[in-house]
Amino acid sequence: MHRSLTAIGAAAIALLSAPAMAAQAQPLTYEMFEAAVPHLDLETCPAALAAENSFCRATLNHEEFHVFAFSHDGDQPMLGMRTYPAEGVGALLGEPLD
């Protein structure tokens, strides 16, 4: 079941980030992301995505941990995304390594 959820999440991200049928592409908002992508709420953003007035969410797909940053302002558009190897998640989140 875990693989099917991550596959659905990856497909949803691909569909939501593709340009809309209209002439102009629409930004991925947190409302769209939250409804379509199974994710974890992060207490803080990794340094590479840290920005004032923002928050981060994460997904795990195969051997990768994807972190998405969103603005608290307006429609809460996505500000950026970074991918990290799954085995480095503890260090990324500031947890001590065993």
Provide the residue range defining the domain that includes 27: 2-92
Across the chain, what does the average pLDDT equal? 80
Q: Which residues contact 30 (CB under 8 A, 6 or more apart)?
A: 57, 70, 76, 77, 78
Q: Would you place residue 47 in the very low, low, confident or very high pLDDT band (cuts 50, 70, 90)?
A: very high
88 inside domain = yes
Number of folded domains in the chain?
1
What average pLDDT does range 72-88 have in this prediction? 91
Q: How far is CA 71 from the centre of its chain?
A: 12
CA Rg value for the chain: 14
73 inside domain = yes
Distance separating alpha carbons of residues 13 and 5, to the nearest angstrom: 12
98 inside domain = no
